[in-house]
Amino acid sequence: MSLELEWGFIQPLQKASTPTAALSDFHPGSSNEHSLFDEADGHSISSASVAHSIHPDPLSGPMAWYGKNIKPTDYIVRLTSSELLQIRAAVIHFKLLKLDCSQINKTTFPLPAELSAKLAEASVQLHDGIGIVVIRGIKAQSYNAEESVIAFTGVTAHICPDRATDYKAYMTLTHIRDASRDPVPKSAEGIGLAASKLPEALKFHADRFSGDVLSLYVADSGNISGQGEQYFASSWTVYNELLKTEPQVVETLQKDDWPWEVKDRDGVPHLHLGPAMYRTPDGKIILQLVHAPLKGNTRIPRSAHMPSLSKSQEHALQVVEETARRVSMTLDHQRGDIQLFHNLSLMHARSAYEGGDNKRNTRHLLRLFLRDPERCWEKPEKYADLFNSPFDNDFPQTFPIIDDDPWRKTAGSLSHG
């Protein structure tokens, strides 16, 4: 999966309406957990009101799919040889402009109207269809590292023009690869690696407050077949299944007492109390259950001072994982693919790509989080700022062509995985 999921980045919290509290102010077992919530937010949601907010009926429509019914032809969009030449021409056009990648858009990366419209159509499938699109045909070996970044960013600008930027390192483009065998410079000693830099398997999750659409470019699909497989599940189907089998888990997911660990720019852990499941004003379900900010990862352990999950929350994690696996599908992928996933209605996971026998898996993906302002979902009012802040900021966008600093730039920020 990419599921490249570390825990998604959370943007500056000054605009956020969700409760946040400094770890130093939190005392497990004391009553100030809730008072902090009230202080930050001005009000709280009672357990009773949360229970009443559970959607009473199953969700229907193309987003509520079962993996066994999804075929590659349902999500692969093939580029013709002439379209590939048009994309190459746009890459050259942009290079000649001598602009920074942050200035890539439909004007600076021009494509013929027919191809631009074909790409824009993908956004319909992302937001109102099954939520998965794979643009296939690009010959990755024909582009150097810089051109790959330009082609990926340029093509996706015709589908979802808004790009998210991490508040901590101002990262817009992230490299997903195994950096665990990289020699650690003195300056990076003691700094953990995020899930995007580790070859470990990742359970089903959605990247939290990272962006509406997760997009990946398969620069290298890996030199060891069967590793790093990507799995997807419809969160709507998971929700429907839970309503039938364990409705109390839905209630747990919607409660606003999940103890998310968030690291600020200074690296100080903060407690962020909030739900794992949201409902939009028009009744859509958003599931943002992600493990790292709740459990840590092998290189960035959860702070010892963070509260533990409750028994019902631990149970919810387990049941959601089992349910997602049961209804999931394995993505058809190959080198050069541009993959797009609706991060608000899907969960993703991946298998490990740890190589073995001292062989390093060369798997290498590029990642962007995107938004189509014309089709994006309306967000739950209470949490709208957190959902939108990765896009609605003035941060400088950063596109590292080479991933030469996997520790400082990406690790420890916040959230995927």
- Report the residue number, 178 or 207, with the smaller CB distance to Fe ion: 207
CB under 5 A: which stretch of 206-214, 255-263, 354-362, 407-415 binds Fe ion?
A: 206-214
Q: Binding pattern to Fe ion, positions 155-194, x when CB under 5 A?
A: ----------------------------------------
Nearest distance, CB of residue 277 and Fe ion, angstroms? 17
Nearest distance, CB of residue 112 and Fe ion, angstroms? 34
Which of 191, 186, 170 minimizes the C-alpha distance to 400?
A: 170
* Tokens representing residue 116 in the block: 């631009």
- Report the residue number, 3 or 10, with the smaller CB distance to Fe ion: 3
DSSP state of 187: G
Q: Which residue of 5, 63, 179, 216 would you call a contact of Fe ion, by CB under 5 A?
A: 5
- Report the residue number, 3 or 327, with the smaller CB distance to Fe ion: 3
Bridge partners, 262 (sequence order): 270
Measured distance CA(196)–CA(158) in Å, rounded: 26
Does 299 bind Fe ion (CB under 5 A)? Our answer is no
Phi then psi for 282, rounded to 5 degrees? -100, 20
User: Considering Cα of 143, then 149, then 155, then 156, what sign does the dihedral take?
Assistant: positive
Q: Binding pattern to Fe ion, positions 302-331, x when CB under 5 A?
A: ------------------------------
CB under 5 A: which stretch of 142-150, 223-231, 386-394, 409-417 binds Fe ion?
A: 409-417
Nearest distance, CB of residue 202 and Fe ion, angstroms? 7
CA distances (Å), origin 273, targets 78, 261, 292, 309: 43, 9, 15, 11
Measured distance CA(58)–CA(244) in Å, rounded: 9
Strands (DSSP E) found in 3-102: 21-22, 76-78
- β-bridge pairing 269-274 and 258-263: antiparallel
3-state helix, strand, coil in the chain (%, to 5): 30, 20, 50
Nearest distance, CB of residue 152 and Fe ion, angstroms? 18
Nearest distance, CB of residue 261 and Fe ion, angstroms? 16
- Report the residue number, 255 or 416, with the smaller CB distance to Fe ion: 416
CB under 5 A: which stretch of 11-19, 132-140, 203-211, 364-372 binds Fe ion?
A: 203-211
Return the residue matching tokens 């290079």: 95
DSSP state of 411: T
Nearest distance, CB of residue 2 and Fe ion, angstroms? 6
Q: Which residue of 166, 207, 321, 403 would you call a contact of Fe ion, by CB under 5 A?
A: 207
- Report the residue number, 272 or 367, with the smaller CB distance to Fe ion: 367
Measured distance CA(152)–CA(136) in Å, rounded: 12
Nearest distance, CB of residue 5 and Fe ion, angstroms? 2
- Number of amino acids touching Fe ion (CB under 5 A): 4
Q: Under the phi-then-psi rule, with left for phi > 0, alpha for psi from -120 to 50, and beta for the rest, what region is 267?
A: left
CB under 5 A: which stretch of 202-210, 296-304, 357-365, 392-400 binds Fe ion?
A: 202-210
- β-bridge pairing 132-136 and 338-342: antiparallel
Does 229 bind Fe ion (CB under 5 A)? Our answer is no
Measured distance CA(208)–CA(275) in Å, rounded: 11
Nearest distance, CB of residue 290 and Fe ion, angstroms? 7
Output the residue with the shortest Cβ distance to Fe ion: 5
- Cα 77 to chain centroid distance, Å, stands at 22
Does 416 bind Fe ion (CB under 5 A)? Our answer is yes
Nearest distance, CB of residue 370 and Fe ion, angstroms? 14
Q: Is residue 258 within 8 Å of 273, Cβ to Cβ?
A: yes
- Report the residue number, 207 or 261, with the smaller CB distance to Fe ion: 207
Residues in the site for Fe ion, rule: CB under 5 A?
A: 3, 5, 207, 416
